Structure 1
Amino acid sequence: MVDAALSAARLSATQLGDIIPMVDDEQWELPSACDGWRVIDVVAHLGALAHEAVDPPAPDPGWPTNRERYHDLRVDERRGWSHAEVIDEWRSYTPRQLDLLESAQYSPQADELAEVRGLGVYPRHLFANMVAFNVLCHLRLDMLTPDGPLPFTLPAPTDGLVAPAIEFMLAGLPQMQGPELAATVDVPLVLKLTGPGATTVTVVPATGPGSQLSVVPGSAGSTQIESTAMEFISWGTTRKPWRQLCNVTGDVSAAEPFLDCLNII
C-alpha cells in the first residue's frame, strides 16, 4: 500500500486545493462538522500539521498530552490569522510535506519507527497513510456537504483514496487508546468493511494486563461489526454514532463496550 498511500495523500490534497478557491469569506467562518472548528480552522489544522512535518518545533513540556487538545492548541494559535494567511501556510507547506512523505517510502527510512505524540509509534512509510486519512476525513466529512456546510461536491471516493486511510486507522486502533480500549474487548471482534476501502480484520483481545489489542487480517470470530469503510471513518472517529451505521451480529453485548469506547484521532 506504500505507493497507494502517497497517491491518496496527493490526490486528497489536490482536491482540497481545488475546493479552496470556491469558498467565500462567509463560508470560511461557518461551523464545520468538526466540533468547535470553523471551516477555516480545518485548513489551519492541516496547514499546521504540514508545517510541523517540514519544520518540527522544539518539544514543549507544556503541550497537552491529549492529541485532540494539542490539535486545538495549534488551531487556536491561528485564530487571529486572516483567511489568506491560513491558506497560504497550507499551500506553502503541503507540497514540501508530500515530498518528505515520498522520501520516507524507501529504505532505510521506510521501516524506521517514529513516535507521533499522543497517537503511538508507526513505521515512517505509514505517515503517508496518516496524511491520506487526515485530508480525506476533514475534507469530505467536516467541510463538504452533506455533513459539512460547504455546498460543493467531489467525485465519489474510490478504493485508492479510502483503503490507505483505513490502513492507518487499523494501525492506530490498538495504540491510540491503549489499555482503555483494550479493557473493552474480551472476545475476538470481526470488523467487516465494505465498499471502497473494503477489508475484513479481527480485533483480538490483549494477552495480558498492559498489553495492546491486535488487529489481524481475516475473520476469526463469531461476533461481526459491519459497515462501509467510509462509514467506519465517520463512526470510528466518533463523528457519528456507531449505532446509526453498523450492523452487529453475534454477541452484540460483547461488541458494544468496544464500539462505545473507540475513538480514532
Structure 2
Amino acid sequence: MPHLTARGRVEALRSVRALAVQVIDSLTPQEWASASAAEGWTVHDVVAHMSSTQRELFGPLMFMVARSNDIEALNETPVKARRRWPDARVAAEYRRWAPRGHRLLKLTQLPGLGSVPVPMAELGRFPVRVLPSAIAFDTHTHLYHDIAPVLARPLPPPDPSVIAATLEWMMLVAAAMGSDLPLPEGTAVRFAFTGPGGSEWTLRRTKGTVIAEPDPGCVVAGTLAGAAADFPAWCTHRKSWRDVELRLSGEEDLVTAVVDGLRVV
C-alpha cells in the first residue's frame, strides 16, 4: 500500500483537531472531573496534556523531550502545572494553540525539511515530517480510548487519514523501541491492518537494528492481521491484543512473541 503522503498527514491533523474541539467544548463540569482511562489522569488532565503539547510544539518543552529518557514522566510536568486551572482555561488553551500547532507542523512537510531527524526521548530519532502523525496518534488515542469510553460518549468513526497517520507513527516507534524484540537477524513479520486507513507494514531486523517500513512485499516469517482501528488500544496496552480479533499466520510462535513484546507510549 502507498506510503502516507504529506497531504494525508496534514488532513489527519485537521480532522482530529476538529473532533477534539467538539469533544472539549461539549464536556460538562462533572465530565471534566471524571477519571479517564489514562492511569492517574482525569479528563481535565488528558485535555491539559493535549493543550500543552500543542502550545509547546517547537518550544522549550520540545528541547526537554529531545534530552529526556522518560517521556511519560516528562508529560506529567505540564499536566501538573495545569491541574488547578479552571476547565475553561484549559479548553481555551487548546482552541488557541491547536491551530497554531497545525500551521507549524505543516512546515514539516516542506521538501528538504521533512527528512531532518528529531530526537524524541527514549522513543528514538524520527524524520521531522512524521511529527504530524505523532500528534494525530496522541490526540486520537486520548479521545477514543481515554475519554470517550469512560464517559460513554459515542464518537464518529475516525477519519481514515487519522488512522493512517496513527499507524505510521506507531509502527516507527515500535521499531525504534524494538531492540529487544525476538526477531532474528534477517527475519521480518508483516502487520496487515484492515479497514479504513489500513495499511501493511513489516518489522524486520537487519544489521542488528529493527526497522519498520510500508510492506515492500518481502518474504516474511509470519503475519498478524487485524483491524487498524484496534491497534492504538492494544499496542499501547490499554487492552490486551488477545481481547481483539487478530489473525496470526506463518510462524505463529514467533509472531506471538513479537506482539507480546510490543508497546508504544
TM-score (norm 1): 0.88
| Shift, 1:55, TM fit | 2.8
Following TM superposition, by how much is the alpha carbon of 1:123 offset from its aligned partner in structure 2, in angstroms? Answer: 1.7
Q: Distance in 2 between matches of 1:64 and 1:2?
A: 28
Q: Is the 8 A contact 1:202 1:220 kept in 2?
A: no
Secondary structure, counterpart of 1:65 in structure 2: coil
Q: Of 210, 219, 224, which residue of structure 2 is paired with 1:212? A: 210
Name 2:69's counterpart in structure 1: 65
> What is aligned with 2:179?
179
The alpha carbon displacement at 1:53 in A equals: 0.4
Per-residue deviation, residues 133-154 of structure 1 (Å, max 9, x unmatched): 111111111111xxx2223333
Measured in 2, the distance between the counterparts of 1:92 and 1:158 equals 23
Counterpart secondary structure, 2:210: coil
Is 1:88 the equivalent of 2:92? Answer: yes
- The amino acid across from 1:70 in the alignment is L
Matching residue's letter, 2:240: P
Aligned match of 1:224: 223
What is residue 97 of structure 1 aligned with on the other side?
A: 101
Counterpart residue number, 2:236: 237
- Which amino acid is the alignment partner of residue 261 of structure 2? C
> Which residue of 13, 31, 34 corresponds with 1:9?
13
Query: Which consecutive residues of structure 2, in runs of 5 or more, have no partner in the other structure?
Result: none
Q: Could you tell which deviates more after superposition, 51-60 or 32-41?
A: 51-60
What is aligned with 1:161?
162
* Aligned residue type for 1:53: L
Query: How far is the alpha carbon of 1:45 from its aligned partner?
Result: 0.8
Residue range with higher mean Cα deviation, 51-60 or 189-198: 51-60
Note if contact 2:204-2:210 (Cα within 8 Å) is conserved in structure 1: no
Question: Is 2:189–2:220's contact at 8 Å kept on the other side of the alignment?
Answer: yes
1:206-239 deviation line (CA, Å, top 9, x unaligned)? 433xx33444513632421111011112111111
* Separation (CA, whole Å) in 2 of partners of 1:169 and 1:191: 12
Q: How many residues align?
A: 256
Q: CA deviation at 1:39?
A: 1.0
How does the TM-score come out when normalised to structure 2? 0.88
How many percent of aligned residue pairs carry the same amino acid? 25
2:56 aligned residue:
52
| Aligned counterparts of 1:125 and 1:16: Cα–Cα separation in 2 | 22
Q: CA deviation at 1:72?
A: 2.4
2:43 equivalent in structure 1? 39
Change (3 A) 1:84 1:120: same
CA distance in 2, matches of 1:60, 1:97: 18
3-state SS in 2 of match to 1:37: coil
Q: Distance in 2 between matches of 1:228 and 1:154?
A: 17
Deviation of 1:54 after TM superposition, in Å, equals 4.8
Distance 2:46 2:124 in 1: 23
Contact 2:56/2:62 (8 A) holds in 1: no
Q: What secondary structure, in the 3-state scheme, does the structure 1 residue paired with 2:10 have?
A: helix
Q: Please, what is the CA RMSD of the aligned residues?
A: 2.1
Q: Which secondary structure does the structure 2 equivalent of 1:196 belong to? A: coil
